[in-house]
Amino acid sequence: MSLPPRRVLAVSLLIALPIVAVVVAGVMRSSPSLELSRLSYQLSGRELTVSARVTNSSSKASEVRIWYFIAAPGDARPWLYPVVKSRTMQREIAPGAAIDVSWHDQLAVPAGTFELSAWVHVGTESGFEHAAGQFAPQLIDATDPEQYRRTVGADQLVSIDSVNATRSASSTSCDVQIRNDGTTAETVEVTWGGRGPDAPEGPLGSAVVQVPAGGMAGTTLQTSKPMEGVPIWVEVRRDGEADPLDRIAVDST
């Protein structure tokens, strides 16, 4: 069957303003000499601007890497299953100085509700280590699967089209639709699991799905675990390959 053209996303925030600026109050620091502050974002349609300041209060110059993630709300480790990872900014900060960094991106996410966070790593003799992080207090609302369909790069032919999780007090099921924009059929493995303090470690299960060329195919994954209040992640990969073709983290509700 033929597929509809990919849609342009128009993602808005939970607060209904045409352009929204969010200043982040929550701070996570593990380095006493580096501070991530003034983290904010502006979102107008798909145009996303993220800004932050990094201050070095030590007596030595510091080399830092800064980036942001968009992931499921409440995920304390958003780097594991993000839906968006920004490009990395690498800068050197003089002693007692501060730098401002910003990203200007086209936001593209699957249907769901998401949380933005920014992170700083500092260079050490053994490599780069975590220094600071912040989470945005306002969530990104992209819950309409038609309006907020994610766009996929031209070289990514197999992707997760939609994920719909159903939770009850005694079980959880997850309907996953896989999209193939290529000219040959694909056999892929779909794996899912939970992410959070109450979630079981490791994947909950997997299924092999055959996706026709230029079409879609789906599978329903089930578990007897309730998974209430736990964000769910889904990955799809070619059978036998280690790296996923696509992955999504969905809301905890």
Summarize pLDDT for 173-218 with one digit per residue, the tens: 888 989 888 889 999 999 888 765 455 556 788 899 999 998 999 9
Strand, coil or helix: 84: strand
For the cut 90, the answer to whether the pLDDT of residue 91 exceeds it is: yes
Global confidence as pTM: 0.55
pLDDT at 9: 30
Query: pLDDT band at 170, cuts 50/70/90?
Result: confident
pLDDT at 29: 56
pLDDT at 111: 65
Name the more confident of 129 and 32: 129
For the cut 80, the answer to whether the pLDDT of residue 30 exceeds it is: no
How far is it, in rounded angstroms, from Cα 249 to Cα 83? 7
For the segment 41-45, the average pLDDT, to the nearest whole number, is: 77
Q: Among 88-97, 116-125, 240-249, whose mean pLDDT is lowest?
A: 240-249
Longest Cα separation, the chain: 64
Residue 243 CB neighbour total at 10 angstroms: 7
Domains of the chain: 12-142 (2.60.40.10), 158-250 (2.60.40.10)
pLDDT at 128: 92
pLDDT at 20: 44
Report the share of the chain in percent with pLDDT over 70: 74
For the segment 47-66, the average pLDDT, to the nearest whole number, is: 91
CA-based angle 137:139:140, to the nearest 5? 145
Name the more confident of 150 and 71: 71
How far is it, in rounded angstroms, from Cα 233 to Cα 10? 23
Instruction: Classify residue 244 by burial, with Cβ atoms within 10 Å: 0-12, 13-18, 19+.
Output: middle
